[in-house]
Amino acid sequence: MPKGIPTEVLHRFQRVPLFQSVSHKGLRAIVSAATEIDVPAGKTLVQQGDHGRELYVIIRGTAEVFRSGRKLRELIPGEFFGEMALLSPTPRTATVTARTDMRVMVLDAREMEVILERDRTLGRRLLEAMAQRIRQAERGAVSH
């Protein structure tokens, strides 16, 4: 990612529940560690049941989410998926396929671990956000 991170990209990462309480400096470090990739229409980004360790943030294009072959929803620019896999190597709960040509930012768990080693405060904020996300899931309020 170029040194000058577009504000739009920062805002999209800030929408990820794990990163909502992260400082501007911490958010810039996270976005800087992500890799920007182009994905052709029809390509599967993640497959249900596979183990993954990446978070995806959609910059351009749309994707479809399927669980057990049934379409659940469409993802648009600014949306994300894989935030739980970023912190825990669990099987993917859905398949996500590019509906159109896409540009996505991918943050791998290894890069995230390096950031957390450097910034202990960021790690604490992520733990707080994860606890809140778990409480929401227990109440059935999480949308994806």
| Per-residue pLDDT tens digits for 33-82 | 999 999 999 999 999 999 999 999 999 999 999 999 999 999 999 898 98
Residue 1 has pLDDT above 60, yes or no: no
What is the pLDDT, as a whole number, of residue 123? 78
Annotation: CATH topology of 7-139: Jelly Rolls (2.60.120)
- pTM beyond 0.95: the answer is no
Residue ranges covered by each domain of the chain: 7-139
Residue 133 has pLDDT above 90, yes or no: no
Say if CB 70 and CB 85 are below 8 A apart: no
Q: Looking at residue 101, what DSSP letter applies? A: -
Per-residue confidence at 94, pLDDT binned at 50, 70, 90? Answer: very high
Q: Looking at residue 78, what DSSP letter applies? A: T
